[in-house]
C-alpha cells in the first residue's frame, strides 16, 4: 500500500492506492434506508393524530363524526393505517391504501372548493397522498416490522 501525495484530503490520505475513498453520495446511499424510516414514522404519527382526533377526540380540535359515516370510516382508516405505518407492518399495502384515501379526500372535500390547493386547503391531503404513494413503491426503510419476519431485523432492509 502506498500513501497518497502530500496535500491529499485527510479522509483519503491513508487509503491504499487500490482502495477507493467513499464519496458523499455513497455515504448518503448508506443512510437512506434509515432516513426513509424516520420520514415514514413521522408522517405516520401525524396521520395517526388525525384519526385519533376524529375517533377518540384526542387531541381535541375537530368534531367527532357519527358512527359509520364517511368521516368515521376515514378516521378509522387514518387511525389503523397510521398505527400500522408507524411500526412498519404491511407497509407497502397500508401506504397504498392511505394514498388512495387522501386522493379520494382531496377530490371529495377539497377540489370542489376551488382549483388551487392553497385556496381549498387541500395541500395537506396532496402531500400525504404523494408521500404515501412514494412509501408504497420505495418501501418503509430499514426499521420496519416487515423487515423482521422471523423476529430478527435485517440491516439495511428497504421494505
- Residue-wise DSSP of 85-149: HHHTSSHHHHHHHHHHHHHHHIIIIIGGG-SSHHHHT-HHHHHHHHHHHHHHHH---SS-STT-T
Q: Determine the straight-line distance between the first and last CA of the chain, rounded to whole angstroms.
A: 39
Residue 127 within any structural domain of the chain:
yes
Q: Please state the domain count of the chain.
A: 1
Q: Is residue 91 part of a domain?
A: yes
Domain span at residue 104 reads 35-138
* Mean of per-residue pLDDT scores for the chain: 86
pLDDT of residue 19: 60
Do residues 128 and 94 lie in contact, with contact meaning Cβ atoms separated by under 8 Å? no
Tell me the mean pLDDT in the region 62-86: 92
pLDDT recorded at residue 21: 85
In a domain, 128, yes or no: yes
User: What local confidence, expressed as pLDDT, does residue 155 receive?
Assistant: 56
Mean of the pLDDT values across residues 36-59?
94
Residue 115 lies in a domain: yes
Percent of all residues in the chain with a pLDDT value above 70, rounded to a whole number: 81
In the structure grid, which three cell numbers stand for residue 1, read together? 500500500
* Residue 81: inside a domain: yes
Given pLDDT bands bounded at 50, 70 and 90, which one contains residue 154? low
Q: What is the pLDDT of residue 22?
A: 87
Segment 123-148 shows an average pLDDT of 94
40 within 8 A of 46, measured Cβ to Cβ: no
- Predicted confidence band of residue 20 (pLDDT cuts 50, 70, 90): confident
Rg (CA), the chain: 22
* Residue 27 resides in a domain: no
Residue 76 lies in a domain: yes
pLDDT digits (tens, 9 = 90+) for 91-104: 999 999 999 999 99
Residue 147 lies in a domain: no
Amino acid at each position: 500500500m502506498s500513501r497518497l501525495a502530500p496535500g491529499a484530503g485527510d479522509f483519503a490520505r491513508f487509503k491504499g492506492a487500490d482502495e477507493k475513498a467513499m464519496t458523499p453520495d455513497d455515504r448518503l446511499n448508506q443512510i437512506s434506508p434509515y432516513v426513509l424510516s424516520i420520514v415514514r414514522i413521522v408522517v405516520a404519527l401525524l396521520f395517526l393524530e388525525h384519526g385519533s382526533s376524529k375517533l377518540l377526540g384526542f387531541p381535541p380540535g375537530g368534531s367527532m363524526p357519527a358512527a359509520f359515516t364517511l368521516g368515521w370510516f376515514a378516521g378509522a382508516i387514518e387511525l389503523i393505517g397510521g398505527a400500522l405505518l408507524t411500526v412498519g407492518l404491511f407497509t407497502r399495502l397500508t401506504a397504498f391504501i392511505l394514498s388512495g384515501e387522501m386522493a379520494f379526500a382531496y377530490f371529495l372535500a377539497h377540489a370542489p372548493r376551488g382549483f388551487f390547493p392553497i385556496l381549498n386547503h387541500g395541500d395537506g391531503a396532496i402531500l400525504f397522498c404523494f408521500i404515501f404513494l412514494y412509501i408504497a413503491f420505495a418501501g418503509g426503510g430499514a426499521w420496519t416490522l416487515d423487515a423482521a419476519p422471523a423476529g430478527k431485523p435485517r440491516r439495511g432492509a428497504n421494505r
